[in-house]
Structure 1
Amino acid sequence: MSGNDAQATFYFDTISPFAYLMWRALRRAPLAKPFKAVPVVFGALLNHWGQLGPAEIGPKRLHTYRYCQWLADREGIRFRFPPAHPFRSLDSLRLIVALGSTETAVDGVFGAIFGEGMDAASPEGLARIGERLGVADVPALIASTGAAARLRDNTEGAISQGVFGVPTLAVDGELFWGFDTLPMAIDYLADPALFESDEMRRIADLPVGIVRRKG
């Protein structure tokens, strides 16, 4: 799959603190390949693949929040959780889509939510974020640009590519899920044969030994 000059794709949802951290890391040290930001609905990915989000598992929730704060402090990234989490992220995603999913839009929304801890789930909080981005009427902009339908299309397109979580960086058809896989993505860009070793090929076809019962 190497040798493809097409852009990489950064799939994200503004509900994800890991997506925020990965976005900030990508903005600090750009990849050796251009990439585009594509907002998707994390909940729809979870529903499609039959998963729970980390914040939906009690003990994992606190662990996740502590880990995110530690990561941010360790990486020197400005970070503050919003007033409640998880939160309804649909309108903040639609705002980004309505603004063309530009770096400025993603920076502005992500920075407000996880850089400053603003409430993007309330109409008032979303309006404040919109004002910073030069949007006087967020609901009107969302409606006039068909952002809701475009966000659904983004999500369905991501699922069709095998995306199961956020953040995910897609490079030449390979998926790198999670902030902690960014170094692996960088290594892959430096060496597109990274997954061609004997052991990498073996684990790609590793048989399933047992299937857990559900219910």
Structure 2
Amino acid sequence: MPAALPRPARIEWYFDFISPYSYLQFHVLKRKGLFQAGTGCEVILKPIVFGGLLDHWKQRGPAEIPPKRVWTYRLCQWLAYEHQIPLTMPSTHPFNSLPLLRLCVFLGPTPETVERLFQFVWRDGYTPTEPQHQARWADLLCEMQVASPELIHQDSVKIRLRQNFDDAVGLQLFGVPSAVVHHHPGRNTNIDDKSDNKSEGSAVVPPKVFFGFDATTMMLAYLAGDSFFVGPESPDDSERLDRLPQAHRKGVAKL
């Protein structure tokens, strides 16, 4: 295990407005200052279609399993309360988040834009396609200075959104939110360390993926160079876990 990991060069944060966990993690990362300028680490916000990842990996989303759907909503309400994040469940869920994703790409996924679009759903309780919310949706487009609703459906927007999805699949992402940490070769991991000193003999570190709201503290610890990830006493066994063989597959055994 290396004594120090290369310092992060950029973080790609993949999300979908349909995901309450994405909304919650966005707030936590914002409070931690991750989206502020001057951290020495570029954060790129990348909206993607979560349903596309589910289809790609042939898995069901939490809202497609009735008891898990209810539990997900209850847990998200608790997490919002625990972290003091305002949360209002939208009138329907799941809902079609594609207009929000396209609007985000059209405007440019800045932290300010992403936060406002999250607020539309998870603070104010609106969705972009429900008939009773169309006036609110029109107000949002006006607020964001979108001259015509058709602008968000142009081919350039669709292509960019598709590219984000292809990037996610290439990184083997399977859900949202997912944070992917990319590194400068040979720089200290601690994101608070602004020095340009390079560690001698540092190896190239592949991107590190942190999936889900429950991995938020793990990612922040990684960025801070926590001893779990570095040093001779590190318990991190990722390299072996990457190659861990399967002894059983679902459906093989009979009850």
| CA shift for structure 1 position 190 | 1.6
SS at match of 2:180: strand
**Residues in 1 aligned to 2:176 and 2:227: alpha-carbon distance in whole angstroms:** 25
Matching residue of 1:128: 139
**Residues in 2 aligned to 1:212 and 1:4: alpha-carbon distance in whole angstroms:** 40
1:161 is aligned with what amino acid?
A: L
1:11 is aligned with what amino acid?
A: Y
| CA shift for structure 1 position 199 | 5.4
Matching residue of 1:160: 170
User: Is residue 178 from structure 1 mapped to residue 212 from structure 2 by the alignment?
Assistant: yes
Max radius of gyration: which structure? 2
**Which shifted more, 187-196 or 63-72?**
187-196
Matching residue of 1:206: 244
Q: Judging by fraction of residues, say which structure has more helix.
A: 1
| CA shift for structure 1 position 4 | 4.9
Matching residue of 2:192: none
Matching residue of 1:19: 22
**Which shifted more, 16-25 or 4-13?**
4-13
1:81 is aligned with what amino acid?
A: M
Matching residue of 1:147: 157
Aligned pair count reads 213
**Contact 1:120–1:129, Cα closer than 8 Å, also in 2:** no
Matching residue of 2:222: 188
**Residues in 2 aligned to 1:101 and 1:42: alpha-carbon distance in whole angstroms:** 16
The one-character-per-residue Cα deviations of 1:23-66 (angstroms, maximum 9, x if unpaired) are 11111112363311100000100011111000000100000000
Alignment of 1:16-165 (within 5 A): 16-31=19-34, 33-122=41-130, 124=134, 125-139=136-150, 141-144=151-154, 146-165=156-175
Tell me the percent identity. 39
SS at match of 2:54: helix
Q: Are residues 199 and 166 of structure 1, via their aligned partners in 2, closer, same or farther at CA, if it must alter by over 3 Å?
A: closer
**Contact 1:39–1:96, Cα closer than 8 Å, also in 2:** yes
| Structure 2: gaps of 5 or more residues | 183-206
**Residues in 1 aligned to 2:248 and 2:209: alpha-carbon distance in whole angstroms:** 25
**Contact 2:17–2:100, Cα closer than 8 Å, also in 1:** yes
SS at match of 2:9: coil
SS at match of 1:208: coil
**Which shifted more, 117-126 or 72-81?**
117-126
1:183 is aligned with what amino acid?
A: T
Task: Give the TM-score of the pair, scaled to structure 2.
Answer: 0.77
SS at match of 1:7: strand
Task: Give the TM-score of the pair, scaled to structure 1.
Answer: 0.91
**Contact 2:50–2:176, Cα closer than 8 Å, also in 1:** yes
**Residues in 2 aligned to 1:147 and 1:179: alpha-carbon distance in whole angstroms:** 27
Could you say what the CA RMSD is over the residues aligned between the two structures, in angstroms?
A: 2.1
**Residues in 2 aligned to 1:151 and 1:112: alpha-carbon distance in whole angstroms:** 20
**Residues in 2 aligned to 1:209 and 1:142: alpha-carbon distance in whole angstroms:** 48
**Contact 1:11–1:167, Cα closer than 8 Å, also in 2:** yes
Matching residue of 2:191: none
**Contact 1:2–1:192, Cα closer than 8 Å, also in 2:** no
1:210 is aligned with what amino acid?
A: H
SS at match of 1:6: strand
| CA shift for structure 1 position 178 | 0.6
| Structure 1: gaps of 5 or more residues | none
**Contact 1:126–1:138, Cα closer than 8 Å, also in 2:** no
